[in-house]
Amino acid sequence: MRYPVLLLTLMLSGLAVAADPSGRPPELKPVPDGAPGPDDAPAVTIKPSSQGRVVEYRANGRLYMLKVIPKVGKPYYLIDQDGTGQFARRDTLGSGVQPPMWVIKEF
């Protein structure tokens, strides 16, 4: 019983490989080569103040991230994740996934 099923599967896979590949859809365009141009990079604006600096990141004219660099303290980020204008604070741009850690032994 197994051998006819195996033989049929191999024959059908052979037919699938031997079939003519379908042509590309006509709306596809080749990807341009070379380095990204000045329009491809996000616009970055640095605004100094008496308390530190604020770096604004914009894409398509929309502000999506702020990096606040105070004169005293660690820098942090304000990120608009939903595009609603509500910024959430993050201390790093890491993924946020942290493995659980337990104290096994203290000296």
Q: What is the pTM of this model?
A: 0.51
- At 24 the pLDDT is 61
- At 52 the pLDDT is 92
Burial 79-92, CB ≥16 within 10 A → b, else e: bbeeeeeeeeeeee
- At 7 the pLDDT is 80
Residues of the chain with pLDDT > 70, as a percent, come to: 74
In tens, the pLDDT along 40-79 reads 667 888 899 889 999 999 887 888 899 999 999 889 999 8
- At 70 the pLDDT is 92
- At 22 the pLDDT is 65
User: For residue 29, how far is the Cα from the chain centroid?
Assistant: 23
- At 55 the pLDDT is 93
